[in-house]
Amino acid sequence: MSSSLPGGLSSRRSHRRPAMAKVYTHMTMSLDGYIADPEDGTGELFGWYDAGDVTVPSADEHWSFRVDANSAEMLREVLAGAGALVCGRRLFDLTNGWNDSHPIGAPVVVVTHNAPEDAAKWRRTTFVDGVAEGIARARDVAGDKHVSIASADIARQALDLGLVDEVYISLVPVLLGKGIPYFANLTGAPHRFDDPVVIQGKGATHLRYRVRR
């Protein structure tokens, strides 16, 4: 998923990123396109995080992953490259803001029309109004590292706004039938992607798509 960064951002301000920095979204997804069941449950999807014998520690000492070697390589790359994480208020509330210490190890930018009254206590979390503003603020926070989007609805809006560089999918061999979709109600579709980079893991196939401009 704290005091926000001081000052507002001018709409005319440049937010150019270094050539290697990117904005991406990574979700674990069922074969029929859902990232959670209707009650936000992920039990059918997150098994691959504990399906191997390679331990990948997170930035939070209370969390670590035990995955296969291929998945471990992918996770290490994601964890090492992240400079900021963007999510929505709903996910922030569901996770209690990850106690201000997201396992990815990066500061969090929450997109919301209504910042919590105790916003000042979240020292590594910034609250902003609007997806474009959230991505811009996250780019500033991340510097020369990457920006990760952790909420499906924020990812959808950012993709429609042309703000997403890559889409990561950890595809799990299960059909949920219904639930919360990764991408739904896109207004700018069709969105096109290059052929994926494929990493075969245990319990999940990891796909990385570069967005075509």
Burial bucket for residue 95 (CB in 10 Å: 0-12, 13-18, 19+): middle
pLDDT digits (tens, 9 = 90+) for 38-47: 999 999 999 9
Which has the higher per-residue pLDDT, 155 or 99? 155
Instruction: Name the more confident of 213 and 203.
Output: 203
Mean pLDDT for 55-81 is 90
The pLDDT, as a whole number, for residue 13 is 34
Average pLDDT over residues 177-193: 95
70-75: average pLDDT: 96
Higher pLDDT, 48 or 101: 48
pLDDT at 15: 39
* Number of other residues whose CB lies within 10 A of the CB of residue 63: 15
pLDDT tens per residue, range 81-137: 999 999 999 999 999 999 888 988 899 999 999 999 999 899 999 999 999 999 999
**Between residues 2 and 186, which one has the greater pLDDT?**
186
62 burial (CB, 10 Å; 0-12 / 13-18 / 19+) is exposed
Q: Can you give the pTM of this predicted structure?
A: 0.85
pLDDT class of 62 with cuts at 50, 70, 90 = confident
